[in-house]
Amino acid sequence: MRSRLSFHRLRPQRCTSPAASCPEAGRLRSRTLLRSALLLAACTLLDVGIADAADIPSWIQAQVHAPVPAHDELTDAALLYGETVLTVQPNGRVRRLERKVYRILRPDGRRHGIVRVDIDPQIRLIGLRAWAVPAQGKSFAVGDRDAVESSLVGVENGELMNDVRTRLLRIPAAEPGSVIGYELQLEERPYVMTDEWGFQETVPVAETRYTLQLPPGWSYRASWLNHSEVAPGTAGGGLTQWVLHDVQAIRPEEQMPPWGAVAGRLALSLMSPDGHSQGFGSWQQMGSWYLGLASGRLAASPQITRKVQELAAASPDQLGKIRALASFVQQDVRYVAIELGIGGFQPHAAAEVFERRYGDCKDKATLLSSMLREIGVESYYFVVNTVRGAVSPTTPPDLAFNHVILAIRLPAGVTDATLLARQADPKLGTLLYFDPTDPFTPFGRLSGDLQAGYGLLVTAQGGELVQAPQLAASSSGVQRTAKLTLDEEGTLRGQVDEIWSGDRASQQRQAVRAARQDSDRIKPVEALAASSLASFQIVKAALGDLGSTDRPFQWHYSLEAPGYAEAAGELLLVRPRVLGSRSSALLETREPRQYPIEFEGPEHDTDVFDIALPPGYVVDEIPPPVDIDLGFVAYHSKTESIGRTLRYSRTFQISDVSVPAAGADALKHFYRVIEDDERKSAVLRRAAAHIPPAPAATLPVSH
| Rounded-to-integer distance, Cα 110 and Cα 96, Å | 26
Angle among Cα 31, 33, 37 to the nearest 5 degrees reads 115
Question: What is the distance of C-alpha 309 from the center of its chain?
Answer: 38
Short-list 442, 420, 450, 441, CA closest to 432: 420
How many Cα neighbours within 13 Å face the side chain of 648? 24
Q: Which residues of the chain have pLDDT under 70?
A: 1-54, 152-161, 689-703
| Rounded-to-integer distance, Cα 93 and Cα 89, Å | 5
Q: Which residues contact 439 (CB under 8 A, 6 or more apart)?
A: 330, 331, 335, 549
| Rounded-to-integer distance, Cα 518 and Cα 153, Å | 32
Neighbours of 250 (CB within 10 A): 20
Task: Yes or no: say if 508 and 557 are a contact pair by the CB < 8 Å rule.
Answer: no
| Rounded-to-integer distance, Cα 681 and Cα 560, Å | 19
What residue spans define the domains of the chain? Answer: 17-279, 287-471, 474-688
Question: What Cα–Cα distance (Å) separates residue 557 from each residue in 219, 379, 506, 580?
Answer: 67, 43, 19, 15
Task: Yes or no: say if 682 and 578 are a contact pair by the CB < 8 Å rule.
Answer: no
Of all helices (H) and strands (E), which one includes residue 324?
helix 318-332
Task: Yes or no: say if 124 and 144 are a contact pair by the CB < 8 Å rule.
Answer: no
Question: What Cα–Cα distance (Å) separates residue 318 from each residue in 325, 433, 531?
Answer: 11, 17, 47
- How many residues can be counted in the chain? 703
| Rounded-to-integer distance, Cα 605 and Cα 474, Å | 8
Question: What Cα–Cα distance (Å) separates residue 233 from each residue in 216, 354, 566?
Answer: 18, 54, 73
- pLDDT digit string, tens, across residues 173-206: 999 999 999 999 999 999 899 999 999 999 999 9
Give strand pairing partners of 127: 185
Q: Which residues contact 286 (CB under 8 A, 6 or more apart)?
A: 280, 397, 398, 456, 462, 463
Instruction: Output the pLDDT for position 436.
Output: 97
Give strand pairing partners of 337: 159
Q: Which fold has domain 474-688?
A: Jelly Rolls (2.60.120)
Q: What is the DSSP letter of 307?
A: H
How many Cα neighbours within 13 Å face the side chain of 518? 3
- pLDDT digit string, tens, across residues 248-265: 999 999 999 999 999 999
Neighbours of 37 (CB within 10 A): 18
Instruction: Output the pLDDT for position 61.
Output: 96
Structurally, what CATH architecture does the domain formed by 17-279 represent? Sandwich (2.60)
Task: Yes or no: say if 600 and 470 are a contact pair by the CB < 8 Å rule.
Answer: no
Instruction: Output the pLDDT for position 5.
Output: 32
Task: Yes or no: say if 127 and 31 are a contact pair by the CB < 8 Å rule.
Answer: no
The one-letter amino acid code at 50 reads: I
Instruction: Output the pLDDT for position 155.
Output: 53
| Rounded-to-integer distance, Cα 615 and Cα 672, Å | 35
Instruction: Output the pLDDT for position 194.
Output: 93
Evaluated on CA atoms 102, 106, 107, 111, the torsion sign reads negative
Burial track 519-548 (b if 16+ CB lie within 10 A, e otherwise): eebbebbbebbeebbeebeeeebebeeeee
Give strand pairing partners of 641: 646
Strands 358-359 vs 379-384: parallel, antiparallel or unpaired: unpaired
Instruction: Output the pLDDT for position 150.
Output: 83
Instruction: Output the pLDDT for position 247.
Output: 97
3-class secondary structure, 554:
strand
Short-list 303, 415, 280, 454, CA closest to 367: 303
Task: Yes or no: say if 309 and 259 are a contact pair by the CB < 8 Å rule.
Answer: no
Structurally, what CATH architecture does the domain formed by 287-471 represent? Roll (3.10)
Question: What Cα–Cα distance (Å) separates residue 292 from each residue in 2, 92, 270?
Answer: 20, 20, 20
Neighbours of 490 (CB within 10 A): 17
CA torsion angle 579 582 588 593 (round to 10)? 160
Short-list 342, 270, 292, CA closest to 462: 292
Of all helices (H) and strands (E), which one includes residue 212?
strand 205-213
Short-list 640, 684, 642, CA closest to 490: 684
Angle among Cα 51, 54, 58 to the nearest 5 degrees reads 105
Short-list 205, 193, 237, 200, CA closest to 90: 193
Q: Is 366 exposed, middle or buried (0-12, 13-18, 19+ CB in 10 A)?
A: buried
SS3 track for 70-132:
CCCCCCCEEEEEEEEEEEECCCCCEEEEEEEEEEECCHHHHHHHEEEEEECCCEEEEEEEEEE
What 171-174 contacts at long range (C-beta under 8 Å, 24+ apart), as own/partner pairs, is 171/113, 171/114, 171/115, 171/130, 171/131, 171/132, 171/140, 171/142, 172/45, 172/48, 172/113, 172/132, 172/140, 172/142, 173/132, 173/134, 173/137, 173/140, 174/104, 174/109, 174/110, 174/112, 174/113, 174/132
Instruction: Output the pLDDT for position 400.
Output: 83
